[in-house]
Amino acid sequence: MKHFGLLVPASNIVAEKELYTRLIREHMDDVYFHFARLKFQTPYGQNEEIYTKELVESIPESLAEMKRINLCRAAVLCTSAEIYYDQKDELIFPLTSVIAYFKMSGRKMPLVISPYNSDIGEKVTQRLKNAGINTPKEFHLNIKTKEELLSFSNTKLAEMIEQELTPDIDSICILCTNFATLHLENFIEQTFHLPFISSNKAVYERLKNYFM
């Protein structure tokens, strides 16, 4: 029996469902996910950088909520948090997990889409570039609210991908654990004949290394 701690922003309505759905689909009966909420005072749409830094500051408190659980590993389910987190520990982050997934798959020319503003989005993709993953095209949608994120339809996402694909792009990447994409993975890969990677998928694949 293995226990994993997952720290999720209190505003995130997607990551918990997507991670547990993957676990159920693969019949991992002896693996358990335990969730704690990362707290913030500043709404995301008011100041994205302060919001993210407040999430990072709440990591020790959220980890402390799980101190009685014998965790195999803990992960932070916030992609942008990693650019503001500089402590040396064994926490798993989505951005590092995405980079590991790209290296495992041998892909390094993704079309990147995120809901971030350009400042945070470019800081995130710079981490990819520093790891040798080029981004021929990247789009940061500057989504401010949960309502805007939920109203960004599957059709709109598919149309955007179709319009922006070029021959040099070898994969499609959606960054942000609050961007629901699990239900679209097969559709995207079958429609565009390219591997698909998301923040939640990358974290799950990284956690699987510790399941056995």
* Co-location of 148 and 86 in the same domain: no
* Co-location of 116 and 184 in the same domain: yes
Separation between Cα atoms, residue 94 and residue 99, nearest integer Å? 9
* Co-location of 130 and 185 in the same domain: yes
* Co-location of 73 and 116 in the same domain: no
H helices present in 58-184, as ranges: 59-64, 94-105, 118-130, 146-151, 154-164
Q: Print the domain residue range for 154.
A: 96-198
Cα four-point dihedral sign 39, 204, 99, 183: negative
* Co-location of 21 and 77 in the same domain: yes
* Co-location of 54 and 116 in the same domain: no
Q: At what angle do helices 15-25 and 199-208 cross, to 10 degrees?
A: 40
H helices present in 48-117, as ranges: 48-57, 59-64, 94-105
Separation between Cα atoms, residue 57 and residue 40, nearest integer Å? 9
* Co-location of 192 and 116 in the same domain: yes
Mean pLDDT of successive 10-residue segments in the chain (212 residues)?
96 95 90 96 93 96 92 96 88 97 95 96 96 95 88 88 94 96 94 96 95 81
Q: What per-residue confidence (pLDDT) applies to 89?
A: 81
Q: What per-residue confidence (pLDDT) applies to 70?
A: 92
Number of structural domains, the chain?
Answer: 2
* Co-location of 81 and 155 in the same domain: no
Separation between Cα atoms, residue 55 and residue 38, nearest integer Å? 5
* Co-location of 86 and 119 in the same domain: no
**CATH label of the domain that carries residue 156:** 3.40.50.12500
* Co-location of 85 and 115 in the same domain: no
* Co-location of 121 and 81 in the same domain: no
| CA distances from residue 55 to 38, 80, 179 in whole angstroms, order as listed | 5, 10, 17
* Co-location of 110 and 150 in the same domain: yes
**CATH label of the domain that carries residue 79:** 3.40.50
